[in-house]
Amino acid sequence: MAPADTGAENPPARGGVHYKWIALSNTTLGILMATINTSILLIALPDIFKGLRVNPLVPSNVSYLLWLILGFMVVTAVLVVSFGRLGDMFGRVRMYNLGFVVFTVFSILLSVDWLYGSAGALWLIVMRIGQGVGGAFLFANSSAILTDAFPPDERGLALGINNVAGIAGSFLGLILGGLLGPVDWRLVFVVSVPFGLFGTVWSYLKLHDTGVRTPSHIDWWGNLTFAVGLIAVLVGITYGIVPYGGSTMGWTNPFVLSMLIGGVVVLGIFGYVETKVREPMFRLPLFRIRAFAGGNFASLLAGLGRGGMMFMLIIWLQGIWLPRHGYAFANTPLWAGIYMLPMTIGFLLAGPASGYLSDRFGARPFATGGMLVAALSLGLLTLVPVEFSYIWFALLLLLNGLGMGLFASPNRAGIMNSLPPHQRGAGAGMVATFQNSAMVLSIGVFFTLIITGLSSTLPRVMLAGLVAHGVPHATALRASELPPTSTVFAALLGYDPMKTLLATTLPHLPHATASYLTGRSFFPTLITKPFGSGLREALFFGMGMLLLAAGASWLRGGKYHYQEPGDEQAQDASASEVDKVGSATDSTGEAEEALTGARVHRTGIDTVPG
């Protein structure tokens, strides 16, 4: 359907010339709050499970652990497209404000859990999913609000600052979780409440819609098939890394296979439905726009290469390096967040700068170069021994942060600049869906590679090491049969599993032996070699995905801004021309004209939507 109003792309803001900075500061607060909550649990989980009186290393409790980590990501991945479409229909600011309200309400509910055991864990999971609904409203509409508020030649800087807030939030969450969790695990959720209340009032009073609304009908069949298909796939991936029967992972579990296969089939049905309904939620013809398609595929591949890598680096630090350098297991989550700061610094340095430069020179050189730099950093990490010198590790983290910063802002700006005003909400939702789905898939792939490496040698090494230190063979055998998934999560949570596995045996061992087995060197030494083999494969996988992302980014073409029909002021007199897209007699051309408008603005090369 054509937009209800096809006036100038950026009508004068009712808040005056400063409105764009109000929009930037408010949406940056929203994204910062949401991304802090995606990572704050990683460090606070030991305190949360201790408060709930649940042992997360018991195989039957692993699903609670996974859903607390991934539930937020899964629900945002499923809902952002629909919520972005609602923003196009009813107003992006209205949907964004609703996101602040929902997020704040569920943050409060998360902090009032009075239950214990499995009931307490289930309460937190359900409330986290509700919090994710609020996050989906925020993610789906923030980029569209910024694109509406800023002119095309300033969007790279604005989206760059917004992206920096997102990455910074991920690392701030690690530190806040480490600081607040030991005081009271409920503070991990309470910390969002004052910011949510302030953001709700501020956005309600100061933000207003400056973009185009598109009156249309909700695509119920599209929403249903998309939600069912994507949920099934993401649930299958989540349970694929949970032990099943005698297997170290659940990829042979009939439930997992049915979720994955059934989900893919339903998503195929969704694609067919979207080609038949009059007003689809997922605008497939947007992929005819070369800048949109190339940027999204690059974002998907970058998410696959980077999403699970964060977990692997944290496990590397918490499970091996920090304990062997004198840090108690209980303190490793906080220090892992601190030692990861070079990556954040790199992103903070490169993000706004690359966004600003991409406004002038286009997204392709910076986004493509950023992926190459990030891939180089992972390649160099394969050369770093598991027992490394921190200065080299920190420099490679900084290099990776610089590469991701070079990529993220220009890539997002290039995607949003390519969209017609009446499709920005749906387009931004599609971008977020690719990113969040890639994160969950990446975590599944990376954990699989690591667990495969551990399962090949760890049981034998652990059995021999325990028997050599006087542990009875039967007890050592039971300990060595601990699923590698539990070993990985023990490292992630800052636990020493030896204290749990050998609880009944330790009092009967010499004090020096018991202290050594539960000390800072025995468990890290056991997992160093098995973890290293899986880590190297994971790094190579990540590097391959980032190189493919660089190729997809290069194929986006040159600098491209969508231009409304008849808007001559936006044209660059020295380098642009107005091209007719499609023809009146070509049905494909007619469909594309109805979606993207009759004209495009072209600067540089290879910019005609393809």
Mean pLDDT in order along the chain per 10 residues (610 residues): 42 60 89 83 81 78 81 83 82 89 93 86 92 89 84 80 78 82 88 89 85 70 86 86 78 91 92 84 81 90 87 85 85 83 87 84 90 95 89 95 90 84 76 81 85 82 86 84 75 74 82 85 83 87 95 84 54 35 34 39 36
How crowded is residue 427: how many other Cβ atoms within 10 Å of its Cβ?
26
CB neighbour list of residue 508: distance below 8 Å, 6 or more residues apart: none
The whole-number pLDDT of residue 261 equals 94
Q: How far apart are CA 124 and CA 115, in angstroms?
A: 10
Q: How far apart are CA 378 and CA 26, in angstroms?
A: 34
C-alpha separations of 36 from 41, 141, 177, 181, 351 in Å: 9, 18, 9, 14, 18
Token representation of residue 204 = 């309600």
What is the torsion angle, in degrees rounded to the nearest 10, for the CA atoms of residue 443, residue 445, residue 448 and residue 452? -140
Q: How far apart are CA 132 and CA 33, in angstroms?
A: 12
CB 139 within 8 A of CB 92: no
C-alpha separations of 546 from 260, 318, 434, 539, 540 in Å: 25, 25, 15, 11, 10
- Among 189, 215, 199, 371, which residue's Cα sits nearest to residue 279? 215
CB 88 within 8 A of CB 147: no
The whole-number pLDDT of residue 543 equals 95
606 phi and psi angles, rounded to 5 deg: 50, 50
DSSP state of 253: -
Q: What is the bridge-based pairing of β-strands 560-561 and 577-580? A: unpaired
Token representation of residue 424 = 């920005």
CA angle 227, 231, 232 (to 5 degrees): 120
Q: How far apart are CA 491 and CA 320, in angstroms?
A: 8
Amino acid at 471: V
Q: How far apart are CA 425 and CA 245, in angstroms?
A: 44
Answer positive or negative: Cα dihedral of 140, 206, 146, 600: positive
pTM (predicted TM-score)? 0.77
CB 491 within 8 A of CB 527: yes
Question: Please, what's the b/e burial string for 449-488 (b: 16 or more CB within 10 A of its CB; e: otherwise)?
Answer: bbbbbbbebbbebbbebbeeeebeeebbeebbebbbbbbb
CB 337 within 8 A of CB 392: no
CB 310 within 8 A of CB 302: no
- Three-class SS state of 244: strand
The secondary structure of 368-411, three-state, reads HHHHHHHHHHHHHHCCCCCCCCHHHHHHHHHHHHHHHHHHHHHH
How crowded is residue 392: how many other Cβ atoms within 10 Å of its Cβ?
14
Q: How far apart are CA 228 and CA 213, in angstroms?
A: 28
Q: How far apart are CA 584 and CA 162, in angstroms?
A: 40
Token representation of residue 175 = 């530190």
- Three-class SS state of 3: coil
Most distant CA pair in the chain, distance: 88
DSSP percent split of the chain into helix, strand, coil, nearest 5: 75, 0, 25
Q: How far apart are CA 573 and CA 357, in angstroms?
A: 21
Query: Bridge-partner residues for 599, per DSSP?
Result: 580
